[in-house]
Structure 1
Amino acid sequence: MKTLVITGAARQKGHTNQMVKLFLDTLGGDYDIIDAYRVENVAPCKDCRYCWHKKGCSIKDGMQEIYDKLEAADNIVLASPMYFHSITGKMKALIDRFQVYWAGHVRNDMPEKPVRKGAILMVGGAPSFPNQFLGGELVLKNLLNDLSAEFLGEVCLPNSDHDSLETRPDIAQEVKELAEKMKAANKAE
């Protein structure tokens, strides 16, 4: 079982990456982590529409390696803190380069059913409020869909300016349960 994690967390030892670590420790298997803040040699999408006609990108850069890792993955985990009601800008810029997969709708070569499993982890500094994670959820769920990943669930940690996985063992338990769900879904295939 191979998992690709894409994280948009600026702080390497922050709450988002702590959630990722707990998830991966519970899930097991091989994994690659793509850190949007530290990835090198990846240009932004230029909307050239090359991918509308060919399954590939006209920009030949570090994203090619990320595409290869995605193709090899059984699971996709997307993790981001909320910056002004959505995922971080660095993560969004990286996600835009997955336009190649969305364009499968235009090329008519999207898989008929999901070919991998997907999960979302999000962190918000503010105290919990309605729709706190909605902006990130919309972007990340749609990305999983375009990457032909079956959405298995999400875990959100609100109030991270004051709380953590240590002070919120209920959230830590949700992370573990989502990882176990992903593990079971892979074994069922």
Structure 2
Amino acid sequence: MKTLIFFGSARKNGHTKQMLDVLTDQLDHEFEIIDAYNTHVSPCKDCRFCWHKKNCAIKDDMQEIYKKIEEANNIVFASPMYFHTVTGPLKIIIDRLQVYWASHVRKDKPDHFLRKGAIIMVGGAPDFDIQFDAGNQVLSNVLKDLDSNLIGSVTLSNSDRDSIESKPFLKDELKQLAQKLNIE
């Protein structure tokens, strides 16, 4: 088994990474982290090349990322929320996942989920009802396009004041999420 993790934080040891570390410490299989801030990925040009071939006309780091997605049993997105959604570098990668959305147009979409998916989100603001709604909508839809069944998400709000240490229940939630990812 293999889990592919898309990490969207500029802060290499911030709250998102701390949560991700709890998750990965519990995985009993191989995992790889793609750091969105350290990839060379150009924005989608909406050229619609992917409408005809399961590939992208732009040749950059995404070519390798597509291969890694195909090899993954699980996909995890972990990102702080900047103005209610994922960070810019992660959004550029997500836009290039148009290749998978285009399976509807190409008519080669699998008729069942191929992998499991999970989401980790961190927000600096104090908790409010719709704090993670936009990020969840983006990431859950991307997971569907990646033929991934969303099995859970863990969120940390008020990270300007709180942390995983001040909210220990989050460690339990992350460990439970990892156990779900461990099941074949």
* Interval containing the TM-score (normalised by the shorter chain): over 0.9
Query: How far is 1:28 from its partner?
Result: 2.4
Distance in 2, matches of 1:183 and 1:102, equals: 26
Distance in 1, matches of 2:171 and 2:131, equals: 19
Which sits farther off after the overlay, 145-154 or 24-33?
A: 24-33
Percent identity at matched positions?
Answer: 57
Aligned to 2:72: 73
1:102 aligns with 2:109: no
Which sits farther off after the overlay, 82-91 or 95-104?
A: 82-91
Aligned to 2:113: 114
Query: How far is 1:94 from its partner?
Result: 1.0
Distance in 1, matches of 2:60 and 2:126, equals: 40
Distance in 2, matches of 1:121 and 1:161, equals: 17
Is the contact made by 2:7 and 2:34 (CA closer than 8 Å) also made in structure 1?
yes
Aligned to 2:56: 57
Distance in 2, matches of 1:140 and 1:66, equals: 17
1:28 aligns with 2:28: yes
Q: CA RMSD in A?
A: 0.8
AA aligned to 1:142 is: N
AA aligned to 1:31 is: F
Distance in 2, matches of 1:47 and 1:3, equals: 29
Distance in 1, matches of 2:31 and 2:178, equals: 13
Which sits farther off after the overlay, 139-148 or 54-63?
A: 54-63
Moved segments of 4+, more than 4 Å: none
Is the contact made by 2:8 and 2:78 (CA closer than 8 Å) also made in structure 1?
yes
Aligned to 1:17: 17
Aligned to 1:45: 44
Distance in 1, matches of 2:44 and 2:60, equals: 11
SS in 2 for 1:4: strand
When normalised by structure 2's length, the TM-score is 0.98
Structure 2 runs not aligned, ≥5 long: none
Query: How far is 1:101 from its partner?
Result: 0.3
Which sits farther off after the overlay, 22-31 or 111-120?
A: 22-31
When normalised by structure 1's length, the TM-score is 0.95
1:8 aligns with 2:5: no
SS in 2 for 1:56: coil
Equivalent pairs counted in the alignment come to 184
Distance in 2, matches of 1:25 and 1:172, equals: 11
AA aligned to 2:17 is: N
SS in 2 for 1:24: helix
